[in-house]
Amino acid sequence: MYAIYSLCRANLRKKKVHNALIGLLILLSTILLVTSVTVILNTTNLFTSMHAKTHGSHELLILDGEVHDPKLVYGWWKEQEGVDTSPLIPFRTLSGISRPGNEPTAGLSNLYLYMMDSTARPYEVDELLFAQGEESLVPEPGTVWLPSSIAYLYDISPGDTLEFSTGDSKLTMEVAAVVVDMPFGAPFPTSARIWMNHQDYITQFQDIPGKDQYMMGLRFENYSEGLGYWERWQQDMGTPYLGSKITFQEMSSFYLIMNKAIGFIMVFLGLMMMFVALFTIGFTISDDILSNYKTIGVIKALGLTSRKLTSVYMMQYITIAAVAVIPGFIASRFLAGVIVDSALSSLKTKTGGVTPGGGWPALATTLLVLALILLCVFYYANKARHVQPMQAIRYGMSETQHSMKTRRLTRGKGSSPTGLFGRAPLLAVIGFRNLLKNRKATVLMLLLSMMMSAVLVLGFVLLYSISHIKETSSLWGYDSTDVVVQVTNKSVFSRSEFDQQAASDPRIQNTNWIGAVNGVVTADRPVGVEASYTGPMNFSIIVIDGSYDEIGYRNLSGRNPQNKNEISIGMKVAKQLNKEVGDVVDIYIEGYEHHLTISGIYQSIANMSYSARILVDTVRVNHPDYENLDSGFINLANDADLEQVVQDLSAGYGNSASVTTQQTLLDAVYKQAVASLILPMSIMGLLFTGVTVIIVYSLSRINIRKEGKTYGIYKTLGLTSWKIRFSILLGIMVLSLLGAIIGAGAGVYILPMILGRILKDYGIAELPLILNWWGIVALALMTTLASGLGSWVSSRIVTSTSPRILVIE
């Protein structure tokens, strides 16, 4: 046992730098893998835990009283066993928030607001948790409760003053508290519930045209039985539920999407890093056995068994792995906490944050990393069993290897592979010979270059595509117009006057108006076939007075609707209904059934592709006076006029409409996505860059030591140390460039395709990317430079060693 311990300690002490690099590689592998597992599992767990804590709704009904009597709906659900309901809460809708004394913020100005008439807490369903401010049963007069998704994103705190436009006047309220409101608390908010005092609500809205609408949340004891309740509703009422409805899937989607995407990328890259670590360990052990073949033969001749020799390597790498894995496990918890916190910050409360717990999955992942390392060490260290003492002492290698080497040396000139390099420059021949002679190291460096390039390019492509989303907005399901007008005061705003002014303005090319209605599709069920019933599908339908083509809406297949009996549907609607372009769909719109032909199918991340598009003429079949179109989309003849047009329209309609650029709106929504991606992608990029430099340094150093005698001969023949180092650098940089090109292709095409499979669940079938080839090439070259740096630093040993010593060795 003492002999094993002595040899292990000698190996650790003799190769301090190399062992440290192996340990660092294991550390980084552990960090990536454990972090990814923690992020994926805790994102879902934290959301589920908070949803359970607030007794969150599985479905949120929005009732306007025109299609269904809200009190009748509430009474029916209160009678159902196994269902909890929230109070029937009245609300009115407004558009936009402003902050007195602050510059207007596009994201706040264009929020769709539900001004809630707060009833006394606690709520049986969708209880509010206080994140900031004093907790109370209802808001005090003159104050509101603001959801954390808005407050954190726009840095609003209790005590701040907000203004809301209500007809001809402004409603000024103070923020009393910030609350976690689960149905409207997800990242990328476009709508929010503002909780008002009852007296303030009555005072402010009693003289405003319109009537109260209502919300109520439903929580099922068994969520899977929800369809059965809706089937019973249809039997009792004689019609499907025709109002608006937000499902649990829609509520949860944007809580989970960013961390699932980040976690997936980290799992993939962590596995690649682990593969590199195992390959490096295997290469190191194999190289060590070959380099010390004679020494191992002598030791075995002295009585040390093969099993004990294997134990030397096992003890060595158990020590290195233990020192690396434990800090990696600890660091991963910190990193996972930062990533989860950045994406789920809206779930922070006064009593707790969103710090993830490690749990058994993180510990199991750590133990799996350790087990893989030990299995790899055992497999390669077991090769020491094949060392025969007599052959090792005589030849310094196995007899088979010695015979092969002898045959190569005695081969005729005509069969020599050096003829391939007969006309190549000398330095290039030396560099490429170094790669061909050390094939395992060459393969490892090639793989490293490919992975580093893929990581850097993927991160760059994702960040660039999201930060320049205006260029691909139509592929994400948004419009691609220049200016957006959001009507905030219908009693003052005159659409006819606006259209006349726009038509007479030579800078404006066209104007289209859009609104939204609720649509309901019921699935067909053949008699006696219970399993085929999927329940009614409620989704939002975009209504346009104009042309979808003009505002840039695109389809995956087919085209946009062009007459009143056509409809374009989202891919999730098409999938659930099993419909294709040309099929007919029966759909209820504003309480009336329509038979519409599907003209196109599109993708949209805004509502997970649970939506549709129709013309306003379709609604006017039953509602001839329908004019509920509150959003205007303007295209300009010249982009140079963009800012001036926005200023002119804002000056003319500032009291009745919010006017901004479409780019500003997209930035307001997706700046959170960019912020969430920057940290993890930067960390992974830095990790892989560091690993590349470290491993190339380590492998080059091993190769140089093995070829020390050869380089000594080169120096005695007149080659300078600089030329020898340059030849080594040249070979590795060419190899790295090849790997970088392959990796860049993977980062541009293969990895986004795999990532797209995750986004398919969120309504995106084809991931829209913008390829900035200058940036991609720059990052590919960065991979080559990182490899070159590791090679150049490692080759300093050639400069510091004299030719005489090298030849003697």
Alpha-carbon distance values, 633 to 157, 483, 546, 656, 707 (Å): 33, 6, 10, 16, 70
**Contact 444/591 with Cβ under 8 angstroms?**
no
Domain end position, chosen among 602, 635, 668: 668
Question: Within a 10 A sphere around the Cβ of 493, how many other Cβ atoms?
Answer: 17
Which residue range(s) make up the domain with 659? 474-668
- Give the DSSP H or E segment for 788: helix 773-794
Give strand pairing partners of 116: 91, 195
Count: domains in the chain = 4
**What does the DSSP assignment read for 432-467?**
HHHHHHSHHHHHHHHHHHHHHHHHHHHHHHHHHHHH
Buried/exposed 226-236: b ≥16 CB within 10 Å, e otherwise: beebbbebbee
Q: 497-503: long-range contacts (C-beta < 8 A, 24 or more apart)?
A: 498/632, 498/653, 498/657, 501/652, 502/634
* pLDDT (0 to 100) of residue 600: 93
* Token pair listed for 786: 């990182």
pLDDT digits (tens, 9 = 90+) for 661-684: 888 777 766 766 676 677 677 777
**What does the DSSP assignment read for 65-77?**
SSSS-HHHHHHHH
**Contact 255/47 with Cβ under 8 angstroms?**
yes
Q: Are residues 645 and 734 in the same domain?
A: no
Q: What is the mean pLDDT of the chain?
A: 79
Q: Are residues 287 and 305 in the same domain?
A: yes
Question: Within a 10 A sphere around the Cβ of 631, how many other Cβ atoms?
Answer: 20
Q: Are residues 56 and 75 in the same domain?
A: no
- Cβ partners under 8 Å of residue 418, min gap 6: 429
CA nearest to 258, candidates 468, 561, 40, 426: 40
* Token pair listed for 240: 């499907």
Buried/exposed 419-442: b ≥16 CB within 10 Å, e otherwise: eeeeeeeebebbbbbbbeebeebb
Angle between helix 721-745 and 426-437 (nearest 10): 60
**Contact 314/378 with Cβ under 8 angstroms?**
yes
- Give the DSSP H or E segment for 393: helix 389-395
Buried/exposed 696-706: b ≥16 CB within 10 Å, e otherwise: bbbbbbbbbeb
User: Rounded to an integer, what distance in angstroms lies between the CA atom of residue 286 and that of residue 377?
Assistant: 10
Task: Report the chain (809 residues): mean pLDDT per 10 consecutive residues.
Answer: 67 72 80 80 77 89 81 90 90 83 72 87 88 88 90 87 77 89 82 90 80 89 84 82 82 75 74 78 76 66 68 80 85 77 69 61 83 85 65 51 53 47 67 74 83 85 83 85 82 83 88 88 53 64 91 91 92 89 88 90 86 91 84 88 86 77 76 70 77 80 74 75 82 88 89 78 82 89 87 79 56
CA nearest to 111, candidates 627, 486, 379, 398: 486
**What does the DSSP assignment read for 124-149?**
SSS--EEEEE---SSPPTTEEEEEHH
User: Rounded to an integer, what distance in angstroms lies between the CA atom of residue 195 and that of residue 162?
Assistant: 13
Judging by beta carbons within 10 Å of its beta carbon (0-12, 13-18, 19+), is residue 302 exposed, middle or buried? exposed
SS3 readout for 718-752 = CCCHHHHHHHHHHHHHHHHHHHHHHHHHHHHHHHH
**Contact 739/450 with Cβ under 8 angstroms?**
yes
CA nearest to 696, candidates 506, 447, 405: 447
* pLDDT (0 to 100) of residue 393: 56
Q: Are residues 511 and 560 in the same domain?
A: yes
Domain end position, chosen among 410, 440, 456: 410
**Contact 258/187 with Cβ under 8 angstroms?**
yes
Phi and psi angles of residue 674, each rounded to the nearest 5 degrees, phi first:
-65, -45
Q: Are residues 709 and 582 in the same domain?
A: no
pLDDT digits (tens, 9 = 90+) for 339-376: 777 666 777 776 655 565 556 777 888 888 888 888 88
- Cβ partners under 8 Å of residue 364, min gap 6: none
Domain end position, chosen among 242, 272, 288: 242
**Contact 423/715 with Cβ under 8 angstroms?**
no
* pLDDT (0 to 100) of residue 602: 93
How many residues are there in the chain?
809
User: Rounded to an integer, what distance in angstroms lies between the CA atom of residue 126 and that of residue 57?
Assistant: 6
Question: Within a 10 A sphere around the Cβ of 476, how many other Cβ atoms?
Answer: 21
Q: Are residues 723 and 629 in the same domain?
A: no
User: Rounded to an integer, what distance in angstroms lies between the CA atom of residue 7 and that of residue 312?
Assistant: 6
Q: Are residues 143 and 227 in the same domain?
A: yes
CA nearest to 452, candidates 789, 730, 15: 789
Q: Are residues 767 and 653 in the same domain?
A: no
Q: Are residues 588 and 690 in the same domain?
A: no
User: Rounded to an integer, what distance in angstroms lies between the CA atom of residue 130 and that of residue 351?
Assistant: 9
What letter does residue 291 receive in the DSSP assignment? H
Buried/exposed 13-38: b ≥16 CB within 10 Å, e otherwise: eebeebbebbbbbbbbbbbbbbbbbb
Say whether 512 sits in a helix, a strand or coil: strand
* pLDDT (0 to 100) of residue 562: 92
Phi-psi region of 159 (alpha: psi -120 to 50; beta: other; left: phi over 0): left
**Contact 347/183 with Cβ under 8 angstroms?**
no
What letter does residue 182 receive in the DSSP assignment? G
Phi and psi angles of residue 518, each rounded to the nearest 5 degrees, phi first:
-95, 140
Strands 213-220 and 89-95: antiparallel
Strands 611-615 and 537-545: parallel
Q: Are residues 741 and 664 in the same domain?
A: no
Predicted model pTM: 0.75
Q: Are residues 698 and 708 in the same domain?
A: yes
Q: Are residues 378 and 516 in the same domain?
A: no
